[in-house]
Structure 1
Amino acid sequence: MQLQVARIGKPHGIRGEVTVQVLTDAPGDRFVPGTQLTVEPASAGPLTVLSARWNKDILLLAFEEIETRNQAETLRGAKLFIETEELDEDDDEGWYEHELVGLDVRVGDKVVGKVSGLNTLPVQDLLVVTATDGKEILIPFVEQIVPEVNVGEKFVLVTPPPGLFEINAEETGEAAGSAETGDNA
């Protein structure tokens, strides 16, 4: 199975370097020169890392196959993957996005939605949940709110604080309604 480790952003400079959104906790291990990465869309790859360097907080990658800014521009938005067998199988401290997407989200025994993504942020991760009514809800991925992840039985147990599921509804529904009617109450 493949694990997404980055998403390519805009070109940097004229020699084919690109900025990347890092989606791995070990960029120093994943982007070593000579590492071959699978690319989505497949027509853009595979790509072999030529160099990796930091420019402030942004990782810049150069690939053996890309020599110009114009070539780099064609990679914008492409996803970079590695094979998961390259990963440490003893790591049980967390989950990868591909393991979580599609799991039912339960509050008690009631299914309230499905995990549709994982936003990895510096302070804490957020589960992206598509609720049964189709609304997107962001849930802090912390033990107090998400006490159980059961990949085998395909569910995530959530103990949301009061109002967590209503916050998005208020912002998109009621706020939009009062803006349309002109109510300022």
Structure 2
Amino acid sequence: MSDLIPVGAIAGAYGVRGELRIKSYCAVPEDIERYSPLWSEDRSRKFVVAILRPIKNGFAARIPEVATKEEADALRGTTLYAERSQLPSLPDDEFYHADLIGLEVYDTGGAHLGRVKSVQNHGADDLLEVQLAGSSVTVFLPFTKAAVPTVDLSAGRIVADPPLGTLPEQDSA
């Protein structure tokens, strides 16, 4: 497990005075400021984020080193990471998305289905994007207790019971 967890992203400049548009991935969006300082993925940059006010789809924020619109725009697309030790511990049945990516996926009969490529959320439940074993095909598996009864982080595996129609048809010949 990585010691860095993505908690947000810089969406670009907000105004002309170096303010940034920040998108939070946190369950409580305002908590992104609490986890400051935040890091770039390779830890080459450290960001002390101060939220100024809520705006549509995020927050207007300030980072001390950013003074101009051009500097803010240059950071567009930067994912912001918090150290795992800064984040709250989770109950047994909750997981950070970053911990699910890369886990091997097996069906309830023990057959290897593939590997978790990403975790998506488009407003409803989370979806695990699973790259099928020996293929470039990906499928989306609902991340619910019914479809994913077991997540074993220490073993690096998920046991899934994919709903009918989730997996491509298998040849029976």
Which range, TM-score by smaller chain?
A: 0.7 to 0.9
Q: Which runs of 4+ in 1 moved over 4 A?
A: none
Tell me by how many angstroms 1:83 deviates: 0.9
Structure 2: distance between partners of 1:90 and 1:79: 22
Structure 1: segments with no counterpart, 5+ residues: 168-185
> CA 1:51/1:161 → structure 2, altered by over 3 Å: closer, same or farther?
closer
Taking only the aligned residue pairs, the percentage that are identical comes to 26
8 Å CA contact 1:51, 1:63 repeated in 2 = no
Choose between structure 1 and 2: higher helix proportion.
1
CA RMSD of aligned residues (A): 2.0
After the TM superposition, which residues 17-166 of structure 1 pair with which residues of structure 2 at under 5 Å, given as runs?
A: 17-32=19-34, 35-40=36-41, 42-43=43-44, 45-89=45-89, 91-108=91-108, 109-132=110-133, 133-166=135-168
Tell me by how many angstroms 1:35 deviates: 2.5
> CA 1:12/1:90 → structure 2, altered by over 3 Å: closer, same or farther?
closer
Structure 2: distance between partners of 1:10 and 1:107: 42
Tell me by how many angstroms 1:166 deviates: 2.5
Task: Name the SS for the 2:30 alignment partner.
Answer: helix
> CA 1:143/1:90 → structure 2, altered by over 3 Å: closer, same or farther?
closer
Structure 2: segments with no counterpart, 5+ residues: none
Report the counterpart of residue 18 of structure 2 in structure 1: 16
> CA 1:22/1:121 → structure 2, altered by over 3 Å: closer, same or farther?
farther
Structure 1: distance between partners of 2:93 and 2:164: 28
The Cα offsets for residues 32-82 of structure 1, whole Å up to 9 and x where unpaired, read as 4x9211123545x21111324211333232211111110011101111011
The alignment's TM-score, normalised by the length of structure 2, stands at: 0.85
Choose 1 or 2 for highest CA Rg. 1
